[in-house]
Amino acid sequence: MSSFKTPLSLAASVDGAGDRVGHSGEVHVIVGPMFAGKTTALLRRVKSESNSGRHVAMIKSSKDTRYAVNSVVTHDGTKFPCWALPNLMSFRQKFGADAYDKLDVIGIDEAQFFDDLYDFCCKAADLDGKTVVIAGLDGDYLRRSFGSVLDIIPLADSITKLTARCEICGKRANFTLRKTGETETELIGGKDVYMPVCRQHYVNGQAVVEAVQHVLKPCSKVQSDFHMEEVAVV
Ligand SMILES: Nc1ncnc2c1ncn2[C@@H]1O[C@H](COP(=O)(O)OP(=O)(O)O)[C@@H](O)[C@H]1O
Ligand SMILES: Cc1cn([C@H]2C[C@H](O)[C@@H](COP(=O)(O)O)O2)c(=O)[nH]c1=O
């Protein structure tokens, strides 16, 4: 019998996770602004895979403890148990190598917070044969690329961009407006801090936030108390 190994089987056997090689993995990416239904779509997909008898696991970033520590929770309250982790590469070891090898589907929520998203997806789908379903923000509150979410587009079998409803006019919302004056990229929050908006209301709303911050600059107490609801953006 030949002992020749392809680069793929060699990589998998070196890593000790070769059980699923030959079984092709997949990468499905769900993006959009906040409140677009990304977590809802992720849960629907993972639950349906589980109902079909496949072994599933869900991961979210441990940075996001808004609704629950060990569950993924949608904005309308649907829950699913998950592993809350600071990074993805620790998942196999924490989940257990044997259990990991039996997994068919891995769901990842809040993907923008994982620095090792690209490497994890490559390994999980290409080498370990997993179906990886990823939900995350494509853009931050300034509509800049957020984390590594856009980096995994070239790895993807499918990409779904969802929209929310603009909180001001009810049209389709593609963007997330931060209502407060904080400027750090990562700022955990819900409707208290963010609202989904259409293009027109993103541009108007962002101008209002910037103008208010400019006016209030020397007065940091008032600045941190400022909220968009108090200003008309139409
Ligand atoms: N402006 C809005 N547009 C759409 N859905 C909204 C809005 N505000 C609240 N929601 C609620 O948010 C739910 C989607 O939540 P979720 O799946 O957690 O979204 P995401 O993960 O994209 O932030 C909707 O089903 C709806 O009940
Ligand atoms: C726009 C934006 C969002 N965040 C944070 C806010 C929330 O905690 C999550 C997104 O949650 P969702 O499930 O998509 O509703 O990300 C951030 O840190 N920085 C931003 O610019």
pLDDT band for position 228 (cuts 50, 70, 90): low
The set of residues, in sequence order, having a beta carbon less than 8 Å from that of 144 and lying 6+ positions away, is 185
**Quick check: 174 and 203 in contact, CB under 8 A?**
no
Q: Which residue from 145, 201, 148 is spatially nearest to 173, judged by alpha carbons?
A: 201
d(CA 20, CA 105) in angstroms, rounded, equals: 12
Name the percent of the chain lying above pLDDT 90. Answer: 75
Average pLDDT over residues 187-195: 96
- Tell me whether 0.85 is exceeded by the ipTM: yes
Cβ of 137 closer than 6 Å to ligand 2, yes or no, is yes
The answer as to CATH 3.40.50.300 being correct for domain 7-162 is: yes
Mean pLDDT, the chain, rounded, equals 88
d(CA 32, CA 1) in angstroms, rounded, equals: 51
Give the residues surrounding ligand 1 with Cβ less than 6 Å away: 32, 34-40, 74-76, 164-165, 167, 196
229 is catalytic: no
**Quick check: 110 and 64 in contact, CB under 8 A?**
yes
Kindly list the domain boundaries of the chain, sorted by start residue: 7-162, 172-230
Cβ of 194 closer than 6 Å to ligand 2, yes or no, is yes
| Of 28-32, 156-160, 212-216, 223-227, the least confident | 223-227
Q: Which residue from 29, 21, 27 is spatially nearest to 162, judged by alpha carbons?
A: 29
Task: Classify strands 172-173 and 164-165 as parallel, antiparallel or unpaired.
Answer: antiparallel
Q: What is the pLDDT of residue 17?
A: 44
User: How far is the centre of ligand 1, averaged over its atoms, from the C-alpha of 143 (Å)?
Assistant: 19
159 burial type by CB count under 10 A (0-12 exposed, 13-18 middle, 19+ buried): middle
Question: In the predicted model, is pLDDT for residue 200 greater than 90?
Answer: yes
User: How far is the centre of ligand 1, averaged over its atoms, from the C-alpha of 31 (Å)?
Assistant: 13
Q: Report the nearest-CA residue for atom 9 of ligand 1.
A: 35
pLDDT band for position 219 (cuts 50, 70, 90): low
State the ligand closest to the CA atom of 77: 1
**Quick check: 88 and 116 in contact, CB under 8 A?**
yes
**Which helix (H) or strand (E) segment is 28 a member of?**
strand 26-31
Question: In the predicted model, is pLDDT for residue 148 greater than 80?
Answer: yes
Kindly report, residue by residue over 134-144, the tens digit of the pLDDT. Answer: 999 999 999 99
User: How far is the centre of ligand 2, averaged over its atoms, from the C-alpha of 101 (Å)?
Assistant: 31
Kindly report, residue by residue over 49-108, the tens digit of the pLDDT. Answer: 999 999 999 999 999 888 888 999 999 999 999 999 999 999 999 999 999 999 999 999
Task: Using DSSP, state whether 190 is helix, strand or coil.
Answer: coil
Q: What is the pLDDT of residue 1?
A: 33
Pair of tokens at residue 75: 């904005």
Question: In the predicted model, is pLDDT for residue 4 greater than 50?
Answer: no
Q: Which of 26, 49, 110, 230 is catalytic?
A: 110
**Quick check: 127 and 12 in contact, CB under 8 A?**
yes
User: How far is the centre of ligand 2, averaged over its atoms, from the C-alpha of 139 (Å)?
Assistant: 9
d(CA 125, CA 34) in angstroms, rounded, equals: 27
| DSSP annotation of 145 | B
Q: Is 177 left (phi over 0), alpha (psi -120 to 50) or beta?
A: beta
**Quick check: 109 and 42 in contact, CB under 8 A?**
yes
